[in-house]
């Protein structure tokens, strides 16, 4: 089944108009809508007298029938009550994750899986990886498929955070990077034009890939299974061998197109900077806008030139593999860089205004629970690190990883459940309020893990352990208001100042008396020369985020944090702080889809940033 058909709704709404209207009337009239209430209503009005309507059918019917047949006009608050998986967009944006294609990686980490069907460090069974493979690792198809999926279950697609994962982004050729990002923006812009237009473009790309790409599921015949106990060939060697024709075609055709010797086709992985800039400009006012763009890379592949290239692509956040702050542990795991490289990279990213999303791994070869707790403390004690967000990925043993050899030799073992819970609970307690713990434990299928922890809900277990002691995690995610109603008078502005990188950081947050967070702003006050003249004499807004259920641009839901002016108030406070500290200008690392928002608040476009004179 193609990904398109899997997600495309196929119910004839008019044919089932009466039972769907009956369901909607009951749900709208219900004083409270819970999963149990919805289940009872669906059972009272079965499809064809036997089958149940799906929740996505109800969402589509509400969009189609609101304001007709006695139903009240469309109300986003009603949609919020009946949508599927509301937590997906409770953080204020709708995340869309896409993966790059299998490609050589500069790393040799012994803990990293060697699944040659995937970009380095990913395995086929992970949900995002499965979607990428179903879509031939094509950025356009992946993006459209994900947008369709959100729409079918009632989620807004106006404010999209694009998350590009897969291997080391900075190791991919620049021509591939430009093309990949440009095609994502093409997908957002085409989806904004309506489903019919996006469907035609989707079909054309899918047909071309089916006919000519080895990466299309119909043509993908990779059956090699790598055994980490006996790596006769590396991941890079196998990938270059398997995809030799695909990689060679990509490189040669990009060069031929650039020289004018070849006319471009829909399959060619090539785009110019000017073409990307044009797609970005279209997205500034599109119905489906990019409000954040994330890539992931290694500390030893970050330079000033690379940071500015990521910015030119539209990047606003960088996921960076810290893994450990112990040089000996890094050496034993053949990470390929030292702690000093991580410190330099993070300082550079902060100077460029990026949000810094670190990856950290307990239970690495050469470490132990007590050493891990000390290592975690260094993440926030060291002013050169102090990430804004963090993924905690306890080391998992996968059969394709070289770590298998160390495990069978008795040199490494996974932590017991109790040891892991002890370490993670200590880590949560140690996390400052300015950091968001975005994920705890990778979403790797349990069947892929040889031995050790197979639970993916470890965050919940840690939170339960903290609650049993009368505590909760102080990190941002543990305090988000999410879908709760909030009134301005319930909130007060709190400021957290700390040293980080080459200057001071101010974390401004609107919080309740119980320290639940409704909105925040990250302000950098640099004390070193800027990376570019565009940032001279400027303080930098690195992030503005307002929590609560994401809604469409221009749409208002009474009582929701996104619509009570918190973002503007935070910006004005940041401007006042910067002015008082002697800065002449205030810059912001805006996403393509938020440029209009900042223009309305006095910011003027520059080459890479928007700047406001103080």
DSSP string, 14-32: GGGHHHHHHHHHHHHH-SS
- What does the alpha-carbon distance between residue 338 and residue 326 come to, in Å, rounded to a whole number? 8
Residue 83: per-residue pLDDT: 65
Domain-wise residue ranges, the chain: 3-82, 86-297, 305-479, 481-613
Q: What is the mean pLDDT of the chain?
A: 90
Confidence of residue 8 (pLDDT cuts 50, 70, 90): very low
Q: Is residue 350 pLDDT above 80, yes or no?
A: yes
CA 165 to chain centre: 8
Confidence of residue 291 (pLDDT cuts 50, 70, 90): very high
- The class level of CATH for 481-613 reads alpha beta
Answer for the pair 587, 542: CB distance below 8 angstroms, yes or no.
no
Question: What's the rounded mean pLDDT across residues 325-352?
Answer: 98
Q: What is the pLDDT of residues 404-452, one digit of tens each?
A: 999 999 999 999 999 999 999 999 999 999 999 999 999 888 889 999 8
- 305-479 folds as Transcription Regulator spoIIAA (3.30.750)
**Residue (of 593, 590, 594, 611) closest to 602 by Cα position:** 611
- What does the alpha-carbon distance between residue 462 and residue 420 come to, in Å, rounded to a whole number? 10
Extract the tokens encoding 471: 């505590």
This prediction's pTM: 0.87
- What does the alpha-carbon distance between residue 346 and residue 511 come to, in Å, rounded to a whole number? 28
- What does the alpha-carbon distance between residue 19 and residue 99 come to, in Å, rounded to a whole number? 41
Extract the tokens encoding 77: 């608050």
Extract the tokens encoding 73: 């006009």
Question: What's the rounded mean pLDDT across residues 314-324?
Answer: 98
Check residues 209 and 41 and name the one with the higher pLDDT.
209
* Least trusted range by pLDDT, from 35-44, 319-328, 386-395, 545-554: 545-554
Q: What is the pLDDT of residues 448-482, one digit of tens each?
A: 999 989 988 999 999 999 999 999 999 999 999 97
Answer for the pair 466, 428: CB distance below 8 angstroms, yes or no.
yes
Answer for the pair 481, 548: CB distance below 8 angstroms, yes or no.
yes
Residue 84: per-residue pLDDT: 56
């Amino acid at each position: 089944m193609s990904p398109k058909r899997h997600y495309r709704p196929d119910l004839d709404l008019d044919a089932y108009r009466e039972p769907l209207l009956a369901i909607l009337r009951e749900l709208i009239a219900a004083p409270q809508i819970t999963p149990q209430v919805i289940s009872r209503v669906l059972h009272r009005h079965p499809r064809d007298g036997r089958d149940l309507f799906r929740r996505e059918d109800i969402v589509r019917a509400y969009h189609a029938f609101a304001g007709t047949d006695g139903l009240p006009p469309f109300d986003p608050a009603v949609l919020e009550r009946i949508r599927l998986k509301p937590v997906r967009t409770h953080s204020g944006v709708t995340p869309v994750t896409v993966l790059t294609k299998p490609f050589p990686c500069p790393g040799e980490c012994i803990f990293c899986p060697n699944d040659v069907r995937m970009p380095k460090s990913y395995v086929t069974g992970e949900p995002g990886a499965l979607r990428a493979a179903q879509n031939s690792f094509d950025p356009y198809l992946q993006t459209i498929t994900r947008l369709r999926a959100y729409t079918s279950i009632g989620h807004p697609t106006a404010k999209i955070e694009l998350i590009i994962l897969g291997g080391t982004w900075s190791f991919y050729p620049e021509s591939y990077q430009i093309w990949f990002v440009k095609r994502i923006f093409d997908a957002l812009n085409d989806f904004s034009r309506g489903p019919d237009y996006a469907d035609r473009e989707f079909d054309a790309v899918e047909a071309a890939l089916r006919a000519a790409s080895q990466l299309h599921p119909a043509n993908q015949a990779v059956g090699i299974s790598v055994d980490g106990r006996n790596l006769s060939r590396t991941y890079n060697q196998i990938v270059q061998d398997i995809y030799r024709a695909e990689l060679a075609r990509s490189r040669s055709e990009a060069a031929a197109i650039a020289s004018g010797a070849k006319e471009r086709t829909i399959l060619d992985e090539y785009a110019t900077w000017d073409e990307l800039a044009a797609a970005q400009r279209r997205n500034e006012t599109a119905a489906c806008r990019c409000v954040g763009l994330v890539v992931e890379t290694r500390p030893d592949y970050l330079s000033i030139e690379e940071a500015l290239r990521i910015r030119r692509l539209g990047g606003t956040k960088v996921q960076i593999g810290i893994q450990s702050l112990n040089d000996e542990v890094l050496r034993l795991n053949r990470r390929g860089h030292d702690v000093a490289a991580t410190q330099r990279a993070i300082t550079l990213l902060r100077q460029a205004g990026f949000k810094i999303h670190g990856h950290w791994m307990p239970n690495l070869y050469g470490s132990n629970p007590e050493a891990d707790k000390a290592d975690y403390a260094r993440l926030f004690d060291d002013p050169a690190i102090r990430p804004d967000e963090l993924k905690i990925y306890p080391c998992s043993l996968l059969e394709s990883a070289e770590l298998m050899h160390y495990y069978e030799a008795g040199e490494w073992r996974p932590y017991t459940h109790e040891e892991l819970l002890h370490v993670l609970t200590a880590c949560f307690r140690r996390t400052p309020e300015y950091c968001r713990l975005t994920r705890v434990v990778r979403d790797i299928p349990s069947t892929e893990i040889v031995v050790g922890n197979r639970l993916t809900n470890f965050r919940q277990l840690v939170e339960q352990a903290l609650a049993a002691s009368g505590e909760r995690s102080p990190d941002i995610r543990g305090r988000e208001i999410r879908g709760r109603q909030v009134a301005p008078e319930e909130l007060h502005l709190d400021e957290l100042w700390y040293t980080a990188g080459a200057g001071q950081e101010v974390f401004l947050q609107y919080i309740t008396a119980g320290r639940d967070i409704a909105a925040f702003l990250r302000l950098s006050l640099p004390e070193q020369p800027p990376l570019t003249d565009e940032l001279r004499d400027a303080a930098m807004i690195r992030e503005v985020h307002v929590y609560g259920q994401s809604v469409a641009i221009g749409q208002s839901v009474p009582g929701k944090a996104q619509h009570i002016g918190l973002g503007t108030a935070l910006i004005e406070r940041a401007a006042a702080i910067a002015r008082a500290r002697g800065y002449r200008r205030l810059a912001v690392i805006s996403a393509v889809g938020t440029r209009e928002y900042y223009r309305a608040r006095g910011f003027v476009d520059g080459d890479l940033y928007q700047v406001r004179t103080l």
